[in-house]
């Protein structure tokens, strides 16, 4: 049976269509209103409030806390300071990605990892011989993500922390709506935003305060349907969409490396040992199988395809996360990869796709073709390789 999050007494009555999904064993709202686009527009023009309590959270403490996180993450955290947050992936011994998430330094010898899948046993295995304790604190904290251009002003009205001095990918302790909280300037939307974590006993009062304050800032609660749209626009990877965890498949063809996912920038050449380092060094020297890129589809061609059947242009109303063949040629003779996530972007007015292709086709501006099926017929739709993130507003880091 799925568990309710600490906010469920508030989110439950708001979920008008009773549209729920399973997120790590918890009930998570897919949409609150019948139409998710109202929630999407709130995120992009005001603010959206997401319940992110189901995230896995692991505290790493002790004299070797830094050595432990540096051993499991591909990022170099040797210069980390209290209040700093890193986005990183972690890999198996063969350099295949297990998961991605954030690593926050909360104290001199205290780090917290957030993750999408349970990795406590793997973390503990890789800390053998080090003076450190690793604890699953997932259910000790309730979390919300307040995301969108008005999020700073709204959160400032509820906290004693000077948010103008909290930089992108930094965190700090403070009070929000009177409750002790960890405030992190991070998120999964590609927009200005914050993640706020409080004790479960303070969850309801925090939600109530945010809902009361939200009206002035065009804030709405938002569900997973909106979250998937905005994370694609932000060029952010989704597990079980853009990659499969190396811990959750036994088939090598389904496992992907840091370089396959376009995240080679994370690895510093002089970083000391980390899990998967030697395999990734060999891969860098020999070349990777894939690169992850953004695509913009030519909807004028797609419109002509639908016109053949006397139909108007159909564009996806929600995001899709599936393997869609990509080719180097229109006749579909040379398969070069797959689209993994796609959507019609309401804010950009473009059909955008995250894709994984062979490196020789990943150059910006390259023309390739992606398959679309209309009335059970397969068509090749032209697509250009473009820079990600697709949506990158200047206020995100300001």
Residues 155, 48, single domain; the answer is yes
| pLDDT surpassing 90 at residue 268 | no
Which residue blocks in the chain are alpha helix, DSSP H? Answer: 8-14, 36-45, 65-72, 120-125, 151-156, 203-214, 224-233, 277-286, 299-307
Residues 202, 298, single domain; the answer is no
Residues 297, 387, single domain; the answer is yes
Residues 41, 153, single domain; the answer is yes
Q: Is 108 part of a structural domain of the chain?
A: no
Residues 310, 215, single domain; the answer is no
* Mean confidence (pLDDT) of the chain: 97
Q: Is 241 part of a structural domain of the chain?
A: no
Residues 297, 185, single domain; the answer is no
Residues 48, 173, single domain; the answer is yes
| pLDDT surpassing 90 at residue 107 | yes
Average pLDDT value for residue range 3-8 = 98
| pLDDT surpassing 80 at residue 60 | yes
Kindly give, in sequence order, each residue whose CB lies less than 8 Å from that of residue 279, ignoring residues fewer than 6 positions away. Answer: 91, 93, 94, 95, 257
DSSP letters spanning 167-209: -TTBEEEEEETTEEEEEES--SSSSSEEEEEE-GGGHHHHHHH
Q: Is 300 part of a structural domain of the chain?
A: yes
Query: If pLDDT is split at 50, 70 and 90, which confidence band does 104 have?
Result: very high
Per-residue pLDDT at 269: 77
Q: Is 357 part of a structural domain of the chain?
A: yes
Per-residue pLDDT at 2: 95
| Measured distance CA(389)–CA(392) in Å, rounded | 6
Residues 301, 189, single domain; the answer is no
| Measured distance CA(184)–CA(102) in Å, rounded | 10
Query: If pLDDT is split at 50, 70 and 90, which confidence band does 300 have?
Result: very high
DSSP letters spanning 276-331: THHHHHHHHHH--S-EEEEEEE-HHHHHHHHHTTT------SS-B-S-EEEESSTT
Per-residue pLDDT at 264: 97
Q: Is 145 part of a structural domain of the chain?
A: yes
Residues 215, 295, single domain; the answer is no
Query: If pLDDT is split at 50, 70 and 90, which confidence band does 237 have?
Result: very high
- Answer with the one of 187, 222, 257 that is the final residue of a domain: 222
- Percentage of residues of the chain with pLDDT beyond 70: 100
Residues 199, 309, single domain; the answer is no
The enclosing domain of 379 has a CATH number of 2.40.30.110
Q: Is 135 part of a structural domain of the chain?
A: no
| pLDDT tens per residue across span 332-352 | 999 999 999 999 999 999 999
Per-residue pLDDT at 270: 82
Residues 155, 37, single domain; the answer is yes
Query: If pLDDT is split at 50, 70 and 90, which confidence band does 57 have?
Result: very high
| pLDDT tens per residue across span 113-142 | 999 999 999 999 999 999 999 999 999 999
- Answer with the one of 194, 222, 250 that is the final residue of a domain: 222
Domain that holds residue 338: 291-394
Residues 307, 388, single domain; the answer is yes
| pLDDT tens per residue across span 159-208 | 999 999 999 999 999 999 999 999 999 999 999 999 999 999 999 999 99
- Answer with the one of 222, 244, 261 that is the final residue of a domain: 222
Q: Is 299 part of a structural domain of the chain?
A: yes
Q: Domain count of the chain?
A: 2
Looking at the whole model, is its pTM more than 0.95? yes
Q: Is 134 part of a structural domain of the chain?
A: no
| pLDDT surpassing 80 at residue 56 | yes
The enclosing domain of 28 has a CATH number of 3.30.1360.120
Pairing state between β 56-61 and 85-91: unpaired
């Amino acid at each position: 049976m799925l568990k309710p999050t600490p906010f469920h007494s508030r989110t439950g009555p708001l979920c008008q269509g009773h549209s729920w999904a399973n997120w790590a064993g918890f009930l998570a709202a897919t949409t609150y209103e019948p139409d998710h686009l109202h929630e999407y527009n709130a995120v992009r023009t005001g603010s959206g409030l997401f319940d992110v309590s189901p995230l896995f959270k692991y505290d790493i403490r002790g004299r070797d806390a830094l050595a432990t996180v540096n051993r499991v993450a591909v990022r170099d955290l040797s210069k980390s300071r209290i209040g700093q947050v890193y986005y990183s992936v972690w890999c198996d011994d063969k350099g295949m990605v297990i998961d991605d998430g954030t690593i926050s330094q909360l104290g001199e010898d205290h780090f917290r990892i957030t993750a999408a899948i349970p990795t406590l046993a793997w973390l503990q295995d890789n800390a053998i011989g080090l003076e450190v304790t690793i604890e699953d604190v997932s259910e000790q904290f309730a979390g919300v993500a307040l995301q969108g251009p008005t999020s700073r002003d709204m959160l400032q009205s509820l906290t004693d922390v000077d948010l103008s001095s909290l930089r992108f990918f930094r965190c700090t302790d403070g009070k929000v709506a009177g409750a002790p909280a960890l405030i992190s300037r991070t998120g999964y939307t590609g927009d200005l935003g914050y993640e706020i974590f409080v004790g479960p006993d303070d969850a309801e009062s925090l939600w109530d305060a945010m809902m009361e304050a939200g009206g002035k800032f065009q804030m709405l609660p938002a569900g997973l349907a909106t979250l998937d749209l905005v994370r694609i626009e932000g060029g952010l990877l989704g597990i079980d969409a853009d990659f499969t965890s190396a811990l959750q498949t036994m088939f090598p063809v389904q496992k992907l490396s840091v370089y396959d996912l376009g995240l080679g920038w994370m690895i510093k050449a002089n970083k000391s040992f980390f899990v998967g380092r030697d395999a990734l060094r060999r891969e860098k020297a020999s070349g990777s199988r894939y690169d992850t890129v953004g695509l913009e589809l030519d909807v004028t061609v797609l419109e002509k395809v639908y016109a053949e059947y006397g139909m108007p242009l159909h564009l996806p109303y929600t995001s899709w996360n599936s393997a869609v063949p990509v080719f180097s040629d229109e006749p579909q003779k040379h398969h070069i990869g797959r689209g993994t996530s796609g959507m019609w972007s309401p804010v950009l007015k473009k059909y955008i796709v995250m894709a994984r292709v062979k490196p020789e086709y990943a150059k910006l501006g390259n023309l390739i073709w992606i398959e679309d099926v209309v009335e059970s017929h397969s068509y090749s739709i032209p697509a250009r390789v473009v820079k990600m993130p697709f949506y990158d507003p200047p206020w995100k880091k300001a």
